[in-house]
A and B are shown apart, each in its own frame.
Chain A
Amino acid sequence: GESVGLHLPTLSVQEGDNSIINCAYSNSASDYFIWYKQESGKGPQFIIDIRSNMDKRQGQRVTVLLNKTVKHLSLQIAATQPGDSAVYFCAETFTGGGNKLTFGTGTQLKVEL
């Protein structure tokens, strides 16, 4: 697989704790937001999405929160596990945008045992 030596913001958490990864988006017209996870040496993998008519969406151990007022998105991971160690990207797009995603620069999550 491939990976990039990214100099990223890093979040370190203890195994079992909850993690919160934040993202600020730029386009006021964006109405659809997605979180991706990229493990070392692999391509990004879809985690969860949310549309602008919602402010919260839950998945398995993950929750995405959207605050359109301040253009902020967060990903919460409950009971963080070693397998959650990865780089997390938020992405945004808008209806009529040709299915093109704009990605954030990413956050490195490190889970300490």
Chain B
Amino acid sequence: DAGITQSPRHKVTETGTPVTLRCHQTENHRYMYWYRQDPGHGLRLIHYSYGVKDTDKGEVSDGYSVSRSKTEDFLLTLESATSSQTSVYFCAIMTSGANTGELFFGEGSRLTVL
């Protein structure tokens, strides 16, 4: 268990409102990721971080921002939520060394934008 938790686990919000999802880890791993999962698309990378204040975009980053002010927390923010952002969001951490694929995923956060 890599000690990763996501919050909130469920959220319903309205179009145009800001939303922040939090990913917390307890083991000081360097790499953290935010993915979204949608029918027919599998998991798509939104943003990732390779250290405190070091982040980069994934393939579906439009409409999302992230912050990592300390090692243990990686925040995903939707500045103005849209219905197309209704999804299940997964945070992941890379628990082994670089150039491996051993991501450990959280339990997911289901977001519904009405």
Residue ranges of A at the interface with B (Cβ–Cβ < 8 Å):
1-7, 32-34, 36, 41-46, 49, 89, 91, 93, 95, 98-106
Contacts and interface: CB of A to CB of B under 8 A. Distances in A.
B90 A44 contact: yes
A44 B43 contact: yes
24 contacts: A2-B107, A3-B88, A3-B108, A4-B39, A4-B87, A6-B39, A7-B39, A32-B99, A33-B101, A34-B101, A36-B103, A41-B107, A43-B108, A44-B90, A44-B105, A46-B101, A95-B99, A99-B50, A99-B99, A100-B48, A100-B58, A103-B43, A105-B40, A105-B42
B100 A49 contact: yes
Interface of B: 9, 31, 33, 35, 37-45, 48, 50, 56, 58-59, 87-88, 90, 92, 94, 98-110
A41 B108 CA distance: 8
B98 A99 contact: yes
A6 B94 CA distance: 25
Most chain A CB atoms below 10 A, which of B45, B50, B94: B45
Contacts of B103: 36, 44, 46, 101
A49 B9 CA distance: 29
Contacts of A44: 43, 90, 103, 105
A14 to B, nearest CB: 27
A2 B108 contact: yes
Interface of A is mostly: loop
A88 to B, nearest CB: 11
Given A2-B9, A98-B50, A89 B45 contact: no
Contacts of B41: 105
